[in-house]
Amino acid sequence: MDSWLPGYTDFTPYCFIGSDPSIQVADLIDEHRNWDLVAISTNFGQKLKIPSKLRIFVWKVFHNALPVTAELNRKHISDTPFCPLCKAHRETINHALFFCTRAKEVWHLSHLTFDLKMAVTSTPDEFLLYVSANTSSFEFESFLVCCWSIKFERNAEYNEKLTKLPAAILAFATDYLAKYQAVHAPTMNSTSLAGPSTTPAPASTMVPPVTPWTAPPVGKFKLNTDAVCNKALGIIGIGADLRDSSGFIIAALSKSMKGCFKPEEMETLALAHTLKWSINLCLSAEFIETDSLMVVQGLKTAFTCNSTFHTILKEVNYLVSFFPRAQIAHVKRFAKTYAHVLAKFALTVDVDCSWLEEFPPPLMTIM
């Protein structure tokens, strides 16, 4: 344990998505031997364009560390586990942020596209990961600011201060994020030198196009695969996840291979290895998705060519015959964040990893 602390330099993070691959665990701990939230958010959450006080709020939600009565009651600090506002349900983090009377109205008014019902059966960390995997960065940031505004207003109501109506909470959150991002966007800063206009763009024009992961119908399963390469080390990483209609991960794979391949060869190899892994574990899938259009088209076309790509395609064709009802489709990369993260994770470890009915730890880095 001591080897983690500043002064020792042997330990590196299990996995991360920051920009500095040489970072050590000690770099994430401050001189008081507490986690350095700024260093952590810089290296693990750099994609989020939100103020640091919100990062701390998100960190607390993710680690189930917000003071809610269900949790305080469990620790014998509060007499009751019930919500102090609606008094009808236990005040868990998910109740406070998503299901208490006013929170529900805020989400009803918002145009965010994820399924809020997922929060009924998820822990806060699982739900955040689900939302982050199924929304664009901007939508996820909007979602987090909304959660924070809802919690802020709950505190105000509990302390008998004047509180906002649901529409006003939503408007405040949208405006707050737009102003923060306008001030912190490098391009906007440089253009502001040319003239006095710094009015932030309306929220709707700032949302990038997105193809979220779509769930298979009830009772069916979807398999997503992806491949990434590290040319310098000459290895490719393969990632796969099998999810059910609620988005829950039934199984996941993270596997590395030596060699350098063309993109379409990598994606076909990822598919071949994922199918073999599924067959070995007796997993079924009615829907299979890859981000290589060439692979999907190749599988639909008769061919006589003997290139590396076509040789692997033939193997995939054979392996697919074990999934007689499966449809193979092409999806854009951002529709399958899980498989992509698992593929990237494979580049950082020497062993293949496979998870069954448990949340794969590498996906925590999506945060």
Q: Which spans of this chain sit near Zn ion (rule: CB under 5 A)?
A: 83, 85-86, 100
Residue 103 Cβ vs Zn ion, minimum distance, rounded to whole Å: 8
Tokens of 87: 């008094």
Nearer to Zn ion, 85 or 250 (CB): 85
Q: Where are the alpha helices (DSSP H) in the chain?
A: 37-44, 52-62, 69-74, 93-94, 101-109, 118-121, 124-133, 137-158, 166-184, 186-192, 203-206, 263-280, 293-300, 308-320, 337-346
Nearer to Zn ion, 90 or 310 (CB): 90
- Nearer to Zn ion by Cβ, of 37 and 86: the residue is 86
Helix orientation angle between 101-109 and 166-184, rounded to the nearest 10 degrees: 60
Tell me the C-alpha distance between 336 and 212, whole Å: 8
Transcribe 177-246 into DSSP letters: HHHHHHHH-HHHHHHHTT-S--PPPPHHHHPPP-----PPPTT--EEEEEEEEETTTTEEEEEEEEE-TT
Closer CB to Zn ion, 103 or 145, in the complex: 103
CB of 135 to Zn ion, least distance (A): 25
Which is nearest to 237 in space by CA: 245, 246, 227, 247?
227
Write down how long the chain is.
Answer: 367
Q: Shortest gap between Cβ of 92 and Zn ion (angstroms)?
A: 10
State the nearest-atom distance from the C-beta of 160 to Zn ion, in Å: 16
Q: What is the CA radius of gyration of the chain?
A: 23
CB-wise, 93 or 270, nearer to Zn ion?
93
Instruction: Give CA separation, 195 vs 191, 198, 222, 291, in Å.
Output: 7, 8, 51, 42
Give the C-alpha separation, 309 to 294, whole Å. 10
Residue 85 CB, nearest distance to Zn ion (Å)? 5
CB of 70 to Zn ion, least distance (A): 11
Q: Smaller CB distance to Zn ion: residue 85 or 312?
A: 85
Q: Which is nearer to Zn ion, 70 or 346 (CB)?
A: 70
Dist CA 16 CA 45 (whole Å) = 9
**Residue 82 beta carbon to Zn ion: minimum distance, rounded to whole angstroms:** 8
